[in-house]
Structure 1
Amino acid sequence: MNRAPITLAGEEKLKAELKRLKTEERPKIIDAVAEARAHGDLKENAEYHAAREQQSFTEGRIAELESIISNAEVIDVTNLNVGDKVVFGATVVLEEEESGDHVTYQIVGDAEADIEAGKISISSPIARAMIGKSEDDEIEVLAPGGNKVYFIESIKYI
């Protein structure tokens, strides 16, 4: 089985969420289910059904996180010695050819991707276009609005 790559920081974040769900959310939901059950008739008890739905969602997320963590290959990007090439974990500053706008992305695993935080999945088209490239290289990315051309300004491993 292929193990999915994940950064050390990404693994720590997922473990923190898992711990919170198990130690804080799960006990709250169990109490809510017990309290709702004490109200009587379960067929027409909206509190009970809402608590059970929340319990189902939380248990599903716990199982998902456990699976992701157990199948992950943790990569500490600060220990990588790859020279000046873009690889998994790199933080890359790009300049868009047409507008001159600058964007910064860190290439991370699928489970930790968050475009709002500048973290893009290793399987995304822009990350795939960057892999193996060096500073000052040009990359072309097929975007929904058409092809975009970027220049790699800098590569960091932080």
Structure 2
Amino acid sequence: MATNLITPEGFEKLKKELDYLWLEYRPEITKKVTWAASLGDRSENADYKENKRLLRQIDSRVRFLRKRIEHLKVVAPSAQQLGKVFFGAQVEIEDEQGNTLEFRIVGPDEIYGQKEAISIDSPMARALLKKSVDDEAVVATPNGDKVWYVNRINYPGFETPT
């Protein structure tokens, strides 16, 4: 089962999607369905069928978002996290060949459509938790264990003391 953690930014994004679907997109599609239904025979009415299909998809997504939002726990960065990798961290890591990766550790609801985000549930994120800069993390992969070194840890939206 997926973790129910989400960053404040991710939570706002889901709420905006829900508001858009329910307050803007659904009423627009409902008007189209009403108009198409007024034309008569619905069995051969492509506009009616297509917009009813869209309405079912919207309703399904709205139900999912309402249930999901209800169970999510918003986790904002705190001063206790500084210097170590925890949920919400922006991390740069390097392997033994010098290849680097940079990503943010976020909740499973936030990774879709983002190239530079990984889920807190991923093996990479689990291996990095509680690590500091210059620590090594061993990640189990299908091809064997791989060693990564932590180069940088940052918490977006949280100012680090200088």
Provide TM-score, normalisation by structure 1. 0.89
Q: Cα 1:117–1:3, aligned 2, differ >3 Å: closer, same or farther?
A: closer
Provide TM-score, normalisation by structure 2. 0.87
Match of 1:51? 51
CA distance in 1, matches of 2:143, 2:57: 36
**Alpha-carbon offset, residue 5 of structure 1:** 0.8
Q: Please provide the CA RMSD for this pair.
A: 1.9
Match of 1:127? 125
Q: Is the Cα contact below 8 Å between 2:3 and 2:107 reproduced in 1?
A: no
Q: Is the Cα contact below 8 Å between 1:114 and 1:120 reproduced in 2?
A: no
Q: Cα 1:106–1:115, aligned 2, differ >3 Å: closer, same or farther?
A: farther
User: How many residue pairs align between the two structures?
Assistant: 155
The alignment status of 1:92 with 2:91, answered yes or no, reads: yes
Q: Is the Cα contact below 8 Å between 1:3 and 1:71 reproduced in 2?
A: no
CA distance in 1, matches of 2:150, 2:127: 11
CA distance in 2, matches of 1:13, 1:65: 11
The answer for unaligned runs of 5 or more in structure 2 is 157-162
Q: Cα 1:3–1:127, aligned 2, differ >3 Å: closer, same or farther?
A: closer
Match of 1:71? 71
Q: Is the Cα contact below 8 Å between 1:138 and 1:149 reproduced in 2?
A: yes
Match of 2:81? 82
CA distance in 1, matches of 2:76, 2:11: 10
Q: How does 1:95-110 map to 2 (within 5 A)?
A: 95-98=94-97, 100-110=98-108
CA distance in 1, matches of 2:36, 2:139: 53
Task: Tell me the amino acid that sits aligned with residue 132 of structure 2.
Answer: S
Between stretches 126-135 and 144-153, larger displacement belongs to 144-153
Secondary structure of residue in 2 paired with 1:94? strand
Match of 1:26? 26
Q: Is the Cα contact below 8 Å between 1:8 and 1:74 reproduced in 2?
A: yes
Match of 2:116? 118
**Alpha-carbon offset, residue 127 of structure 1:** 0.7
Task: Tell me the amino acid that sits aligned with residue 94 of structure 1.
Answer: I
Secondary structure of residue in 1 paired with 2:80? coil
Q: Is the Cα contact below 8 Å between 2:3 and 2:121 reproduced in 1?
A: no
CA distance in 2, matches of 1:7, 1:83: 16
CA distance in 1, matches of 2:44, 2:132: 63
**Alpha-carbon offset, residue 149 of structure 1:** 2.3
